Amino acid sequence: MKFVHIADMHFDIPFTTLNKKELGNVRRLEQRKIFKDIIEYIKEHNIEYFFIAGDLYEHEYVKKSTIEYINNLFKEIPNTKIFIAPGNHDPAIKNSYYKQFSWNSNVFIFGNKVEKIEHQNICIYGYGFEDFYMKNNKLNEISNIDKNKINILITHCNLDGQKNNETEYNPISNAELKSLNMDYIAMGHIHKKTEISNEQENAFYPGSPISMGFDEMGKHGMIAGEIDEEKKLKLEFISLDKKEFVSKIFDISNIKSEEELIEQINSIELEQNKYYKIVLVGNRNFEINLYNIEKNTYNENIIKFTNNTKIGIDLDNLKNESSLKGIFIKNILKKIEDNPEQKEKLLNILEIGLDAM
């Protein structure tokens, strides 16, 4: 059997962290293109099963036209059996499109109880969210597994969630999964893909097919898999997102003014297929105004700046000067000592004051 496994598409997500130059609108169009590419792959490779492990769309924001777009693409692969396990962002609540929309006949949507679908020598198990939280998994509902058949589980979950206190999103332990003796476990929820190796692992996150921002750097795509009659599993990660989010370190220690900094940033040669976050580091010799820097940056692929610089002045030496500058530095350092929680704010005041002097 051949299958494609995706999760965390998040159709119609606002992309609130990508507001610069209406990039959110661009990414939503790219979402649609990527999903169409998945359907084209399924057509070209005669994929029999399509597993969607939750968060296909954003319940709060998704438009009916988007659901119709998705379903029309499903109609293009009538011979592919599509299984959806709703997640915490698209739970199958009463007013959801999973409940209120007439999906194509090749689509099966799991409920919040474990359901078992048998087809020839294959058993597909699954369950999904019917609320925005699920504090207990339903694995105890799985029993009497026929080891002579290929057994697959589809669910949106947080694997080993107990370890990081994420116990509200169907927490499952590795030990629980291994005890099921499934031949493949299609998971969703974590946007970073599980690395495919030669080890005998069979539970995977494909990651999100499209990156949501700089907290999701690296390649994004889907898993294409095949299980033969001897239950040998063969997997391939296929990259889908043509854009990649990357961070670029930029040391400003030798730059003397904001104007010079902006000129140098605008002269950086960057790859067109990447979105960049410029991380400013080093010892700064002037006040950093990120708003001015962003406003005057011409490269469309730079969409975010982070200031990790430090004041480029020997404060301990200057505070001992018998001058207005020395007295000012000494007073600010004393305030920082008395109010450590205000350190960043006070250092900013110090920088502005020294620049004025």
Residues 293 and 230 in one domain: no
Angle at alpha carbon of residue 12, lines to 69 and 221, rounded to 5°: 80
Per-residue tokens: 185: 């476990």
- pLDDT for 161 equals 58
SS3 call for 339? coil
Residues 307 and 232 in one domain: no
Residues 317 and 193 in one domain: no
Last residue within a domain, chosen from 239, 269, 285: 239
Question: What is the C-alpha separation between 343 and 277, in angstroms, rounded?
Answer: 25
- pLDDT for 200 equals 59
Report strand pairing: 2-6 vs 221-227: antiparallel
Last residue within a domain, chosen from 239, 262, 292: 239
- Ranges under pLDDT 70 in the chain: 19-21, 161-166, 198-200, 313-314, 355
Residues 321 and 251 in one domain: yes
Q: How many domains does the chain have?
A: 2
- pLDDT for 162 equals 46
pLDDT tens string 101-145: 999 999 999 999 999 999 889 999 999 999 999 999 999 999 889
Domain that includes residue 329, residue range: 244-356
Q: What is the CATH number of the domain that holds 116?
A: 3.60.21.10
Edge-first strand listing for the sheet containing 2-6? 107-109, 81-84, 49-52, 2-6, 221-227, 233-239
CB 35 within 8 A of CB 10: no
pLDDT over 70 percentage in the chain: 95
Residues 171 and 66 in one domain: yes
Residues 212 and 306 in one domain: no
Last residue within a domain, chosen from 239, 262, 291: 239
SS3 call for 306? strand
- What pTM value is reported for the model? 0.85
Nearest to 132 by CA among 186, 88, 68: 88
Residues 99 and 74 in one domain: yes
